Structure 1
C-alpha cells in the first residue's frame, strides 16, 4: 500500500511505497508530460521486486501539485535539478537517493547528479535527453497539431493539463532551447549510472544512448528491444530486471 501526501509549504504531491525512514530511497522523476499516476504500477512493482522504498512526486504544475510557472525558460531543467529537487529531498529528509528519471526527468536527474552539492547513491536514466535532436523537435511539433486530443488524455492525471502541455511544447520548440547540451557537465557525475533507451524511441535516435553513456565515466547502457519512449509501459519486466541487476552489481541490495 502506498502513502500519498503533499510537502508543505511547497505543495508538491508525492507518493511513497514503503517507508522513507528505511533507506535507501528510490526517487522517481517523471517525463515532460508525466505525473505520479502515469508511472502506472511501475513504482509498486519496483518496490515489491527490490524491497527498496520508492517515492514518486509531481513537479510543480504537474499532476496534483500546485500550479507552476505559466511558461518555461530554456534553463527550466537546471532550475528543477539544482533548486526544486534538492529542496524537496531536504524537506522529506531523503539523503543519497537512488534517482530514476524518465525522459525530461532523466535529464533533470543527470543535471542534479553532476552538481558537487548533490550525492545520489546511483542513477538510472530512461529515455533521457542530453542534447536536442531533430527527431524530438519534430515529434513535439506534430504533438502541437493534436493538442486538444492530448490535453483531453492528460486531464485525468493533471490539475491543469493545458498549461502542462503548452509550457513543455513551447520551451522545447523555442530557439533558445535548441543549444541545450549537458554532455560536458555529465563528466562530473561520480555515482554509478545506468542509461536505458528503447530501440524504437519516438523522441530519440539510437545515437542518444551512447551519447549519454560515453559522457559519463564507467556508465552502463542498455538498449531495450521492441520498445518505444515509455519503457515502463512497453517493457516493464525488462526495465525492472535491468534496474535490479544494476543495483546488485553496485552493492545496493533489496530482494535481488
Structure 2
C-alpha cells in the first residue's frame, strides 16, 4: 500500500492509496469519521457499478462514515476511474473474481480483516460473491440494484444504453471520470453482458454460501433488473435477508431516494449482529 494523499474534509479524514494488484495500480480512498477517532466496527467497503468509480459515489461514502462511525473505503476497480488501464475484456467470471482476488488484495493492502460490503448494480453482485468467498470475515452484505441472474430486462436495458452512448455528448460525460479507459469501460459492460458467455450467468451458488445477514435495496422501476432480483436473493440465501423495495425508484435509489436508502443501510448496520 502506498498512501499518497490525505485530503482535508469537514467531517472525515480522507486518505487515498495506490495499491499494486495483478492488473496494475488500483486507486482506493478511505473516509475516517472525525467524530470517532477509534472504532471497533468493521470497515464498510463500497463496490461500484459497471460504469462507476470512486467519484461517482459522490457524497455517499462520507455520509455513511459519519452516520455509522465506520471507516468507509471505495476503490476504482482495475480499468475504471483512475486505476490502471486494461485492454482485454473481463472474463465471464469477472463478478466472482472481482469479489475475490482484487478485493482480497485491497483488504490486505489496507490491513483489513473483518469488513462489511456494499455494492451497487454489478457491484451488488460482487458484494454477494464476497459474502460467499470471505465467509465470517464479511460481517454484512448490502446490495443496491444488484443483479444476481440474467433477465431479458437486463439485456434490453444494456442495448438501450449502447444506443444512448453513441451520442458523443453522453460519452464525453463518462470520459470525465474514466478518460482513456472509457471505451474499455463501455465494452466491459456492454460487450460482456451481451456475450453468449453470459447466457446462463447467475449467482445462486454464491448466495447460498453467504453466512452474514443481507440487506437488498431495489427500485421497482429499475431498467436493468426487475423485483425478481431481490426476490431471488431472498429465496436462495440461507441467512436472514432484509429487503427494501422502492415502488417509484429506478436503478440509482441511493441518489433518487437518498434519505430512505441511507436510513435502511444505517439501521441495518447498527444491529447487534453487525459488530
Relative to structure 1, the CA distance from residue 4 to residue 112 in structure 2 (aligned partners, 3 Å threshold; closer, same or farther) is: same
The ranges of structure 1 where at least 4 consecutive aligned residues each deviate by more than 4 angstroms after the TM superposition are 19-23
Match in the other structure for 1:128? 146
Residue in structure 2 matched with residue 98 of structure 1 by the alignment? 116
Instruction: Choose the corresponding residue for 1:5, options 17, 23, 34.
Output: 17
| 1:205 aligned residue (200, 212, 226) | 226
**Runs of at least 5 residues in structure 2 that lack an aligned partner in the other structure:** 1-8
1:18 is matched with: 32
Partner Cα distance (1:84, 1:66) in 2: 13
Quick one: structure 1 residues 124 and 154, their matched pair in 2 at CA, closer, same or farther if it must change by over 3 Å? same
Matched, 1:220 2:242: yes
Q: What is the number of residues matched between the two proteins?
A: 253
Instruction: Give the number of the structure whose residues are more often strand, by fraction.
Output: 2
Q: Which moved more, 1:17-26 or 1:83-92?
A: 17-26
Aligned mates of 1:39, 1:116 — CA distance in 2: 24
Contact 1:151 1:162 in 2 (8 A): no
Q: Identify the match of residue 215 of structure 2 among 190, 194, 204.
A: 194
Matched with 1:249 is 271
Q: Gaps spanning 5+ residues in structure 1: where?
A: none
C-alpha distance in structure 2 between counterparts of 1:41 and 1:116, whole Å: 28
Q: 1:232 and 1:57, CA in 2 relative to 1: closer, same or farther beyond 3 A?
A: same
In the superposition, the TM-score normalised over structure 1's length comes to: 0.92
SS in 2 for 1:60: coil
**TM-score, L = length of structure 2:** 0.86
1:153 equivalent to 2:173? Answer: yes
Q: CA separation in 2, counterparts of 1:7 and 1:118?
A: 24
The answer (yes or no) to whether the contact 1:195–1:221 under 8 Å persists in 2 is yes
Give the number of the structure with larger relative contact order, counting CA–CA contacts within 8 Å between residues 6 or more apart.
1
Whole-Å separation in 1 of the counterparts to 2:111 and 2:94 = 24
Distance 2:134 2:253 in 1: 30
